[in-house]
Amino acid sequence: MARLKHDLRPCKRWRDASLKTSFIAHVLVFLLVALAGSLATSSAFAKLQSVATEDAREVAGLYLYDGDRAALVPAESVPVDGNGASVFVGVARQDMALLPLGQLPPRTWIEDVSDYRPLTLSDIGGAPGSMVTERGETPQELQALVGEDGGIAPDDMAAYDAAARQAFDLWLAEQPASPYATLFPQGSQQVAGEEGPEEGLRMSPVAYYLYSPPSDEARALSTAFGFLTFLMFPLWFGACIFAAARRFYRKRLSPALATLDHAAANIAAQNLDFSVAYDRNDEMGRLARSFETMRSSLAASQKALWRTAEERKRLNAAFAHDLRTPLTVLHGKVELLEGKAPQADVRSLARQVERLERYVQAMSTVQKLEDRPVVRTTCERKALARVLGETGNALCASRGVRFALDDAGQGTVFVDGALVEEVAANLLTNAARHAQEQVTLRMETRQGDLVMAVEDDGPGFSAEALAKGCEPFFSETPSEDHFGLGLNICSVLCRRHGGSLRLENRIGEGGMKLGGCAIARFGKEDRF
């Protein structure tokens, strides 16, 4: 067992390695794979490139031109002196047969070997291997027979050979001390050693080299293989870097991100009955543990808030219940005092008892709002606007201010109509109480949610009211009939409907307040 643990230790260290170390290791491994793969494939394509043209470019030479036979005869180069001067001697070789010019492929070219090797007339004074006159110029008749690629067509072989020998003889006549003089005492047209199997062509100052250019298909194939040879390096390295990044993401990032995404979604939905577990000790593991700590803290806070809310509900219910009995007694006492005590005192006492009853009723209302269910139905926009317009006209008329409804929308909305009407009534009542002449209700739809804005032309909200206006029992103008619960009730109902309530001031030019504005949003679905 101890040995097994020891064997597993490197695996655990690798699992717990930092993301930086793991990423570098992945990249290095895949770069080595890319290097090996690119070298292997490039070598293979390079070989294929060579194979594509090796037959076409196979060297077959040296050859001498035989005018009598109109053929090429195998030859060898024989040095004349230590300065590179050579002569070409016809030989009989089994691997090189006599090649009639008429049987050569149409794409076959014959080139002067001097273009490739410093064998011919290197001591004339021109470039090594070049055929020049005593003035150092290539004869025009030779230039005319050589193509742009340096090749000589088989049909031009006789003319080229004759012109080349003539140029050599002209030079040799002016160079009696040349070692060629003893080999060609009567010029190159008179060949030395007329005996042998290659009669009439034993020796020559000019030799030729036979090769076949590649076909268009072979050239295209060779170009393609050359391009692939060059392309293998970026392709391999690019593919391996992508594979390294993909494997690193799948092995080290994706599981952790999936775990954290699931945790974040649960936290957003206020579902804290889970745990964040990630079994690595790297940066993502530490982040997962931080998430778990945060979840535990939020769960504890949520439980504490729930207990506090439940205790507050119980206290409010108990307070409202306990007040009802003494209020009933007081109400009875007031009735008994009528006609016995001064009427002014009786009326004052009765008003205070009624105010306490309204206060208890308001507390009961707030208590019931938090548990109120939201029943959404499909409502016609026009029908809802008509009901809200009637409510607004009635409330504003009782306060002596004008009312205007701004809604040009069509179609339907998915809301709790009774809840929307209750919120609108409270907002309109609050706006009419502070308005000078005008209250306006605007309706619109945003991303499927119903948005209702109630505006007035009063003094607007103070800074404190903007911050605390939706809190329970907050009022800048407390009275016997107003306990500061209207906006709080609206805020609670909007939250129950998956929306919100926001207070703001309408600002005109120069920063002047134009009045207050309460914006209620009713969501098409719950967001808590």
How large is the greatest C-alpha to C-alpha distance in the chain, in angstroms?
A: 172
DSSP 18-53: -HHHHHHHHHHHHHHHHHHHHHHHHHHHHHHHHHHH
Averaged over 324-348, what is the pLDDT? 65
125: left (phi over 0), alpha (psi -120 to 50) or beta: left
Residue 224: predicted pLDDT: 86
Please tell me which residue, 313 or 279, carries the higher pLDDT value: 279
Sign for the CA dihedral angle at 19, 23, 24, 29 comes to positive
**Alpha carbon separation from 406 to 31, 316, 441, 447 (Å, rounded):** 67, 40, 6, 19
Peptide bond connecting 62 to the previous residue in cis, omega within 30 degrees of 0 = yes
Averaged over 98-114, what is the pLDDT? 74
Among 15-24, 51-60, 120-129, 253-262, which range has the highest average pLDDT? 253-262
Nearest Cα neighbor of 371 from 313, 447, 307, 441 is 313
Q: How many Å apart are CA 330 and CA 327, to the nearest integer?
A: 5
Q: How many Å apart are CA 487 and CA 386, to the nearest integer?
A: 23
Quickly count: other Cβ atoms within 10 Å of residue 177's Cβ. 6
Q: Is the pTM of this model over 0.85?
A: no
Q: How much of the chain exceeds pLDDT 70, in percent? A: 73
Residue 124: predicted pLDDT: 33
Averaged over 420-447, what is the pLDDT? 90
Of the listed ranges 207-216, 330-339, 498-507, the one predicted with least confidence: 330-339
Asked whether the beta carbons of 37 and 237 are under 8 A apart, the reply is no
Token digits for 332?
């009875």
17-68 pLDDT, tens per residue?
777 888 888 888 888 888 888 888 888 888 887 777 766 665 677 888 888 8
The number of C-alpha atoms within 13 Å of 412 and in the hemisphere containing its C-beta is: 9
Classified as helix, coil or strand, 215 is coil
**Alpha carbon separation from 422 to 372, 499, 514, 520 (Å, rounded):** 13, 15, 26, 12
Asked whether the beta carbons of 192 and 64 are under 8 A apart, the reply is no
Q: How many Å apart are CA 419 and CA 412, to the nearest integer?
A: 16
Averaged over 398-414, what is the pLDDT? 86
**What CA dihedral angle connects 490, 493, 498 and 503, to 10 degrees?**
10
Residue 129: predicted pLDDT: 32
**Alpha carbon separation from 122 to 116, 139, 173, 233 (Å, rounded):** 12, 17, 17, 45
Asked whether the beta carbons of 96 and 74 are under 8 A apart, the reply is yes
Rounded CA Rg of the chain: 54
Averaged over 117-126, what is the pLDDT? 34
At residue 210 the predicted structure's pLDDT band, cuts being 50, 70 and 90, is confident
For the chain, the domains span 18-54+217-262, 60-213, 283-369, 377-522
At residue 102 the predicted structure's pLDDT band, cuts being 50, 70 and 90, is confident
Q: How many Å apart are CA 389 and CA 400, to the nearest integer?
A: 16
Torsion angles phi and psi, residue 350, rounded to 5: -65, -40
Name the architecture of domain 377-522: 2-Layer Sandwich (3.30)
Token digits for 207?
């030799």
134-192 pLDDT, tens per residue?
324 567 777 788 777 667 888 888 888 888 888 888 888 888 888 888 888 888 876 54
Q: How much of the chain exceeds pLDDT 90, in percent? A: 7
Could you give the residue ranges of the DSSP H alpha helices within 174-282?
180-183, 216-248, 254-268
Residue 217: predicted pLDDT: 79
Burial of 501 (0-12, 13-18, 19+ CB in 10 A): buried
Averaged over 194-212, what is the pLDDT? 67
Residue 300: predicted pLDDT: 83
At residue 127 the predicted structure's pLDDT band, cuts being 50, 70 and 90, is very low
Interacting residues of 521 by C-beta distance below 8 A, sequence separation 6+: 446, 449, 450, 451, 452, 494, 499, 500, 501, 502
Please tell me which residue, 428 or 26, carries the higher pLDDT value: 428
Quickly count: other Cβ atoms within 10 Å of residue 316's Cβ. 16
Residue 88: predicted pLDDT: 86
Asked whether the beta carbons of 198 and 68 are under 8 A apart, the reply is no
Of the listed ranges 20-29, 287-296, 308-317, 498-507, the one predicted with least confidence: 308-317
Residue 43: predicted pLDDT: 87
Of the listed ranges 42-56, 486-500, 501-515, the one predicted with least confidence: 42-56
> Which residues share a beta bridge with 87?
78
Token digits for 67?
């005018």
At residue 503 the predicted structure's pLDDT band, cuts being 50, 70 and 90, is very high
Nearest Cα neighbor of 495 from 517, 521, 469 is 521
At residue 198 the predicted structure's pLDDT band, cuts being 50, 70 and 90, is very low
Quickly count: other Cβ atoms within 10 Å of residue 186's Cβ. 9
Residue 328: predicted pLDDT: 67
Of the listed ranges 27-41, 105-119, 492-506, the one predicted with least confidence: 105-119
| Pairing of β 438-446 and β 449-456 | antiparallel
Residue 366 host element (H or E): helix 343-369
Residue 157 host element (H or E): helix 157-173
**Alpha carbon separation from 439 to 382, 397, 430 (Å, rounded):** 20, 11, 10
Q: Degrees (nearest 5) of the Cα angle 447, 373, 421?
A: 60
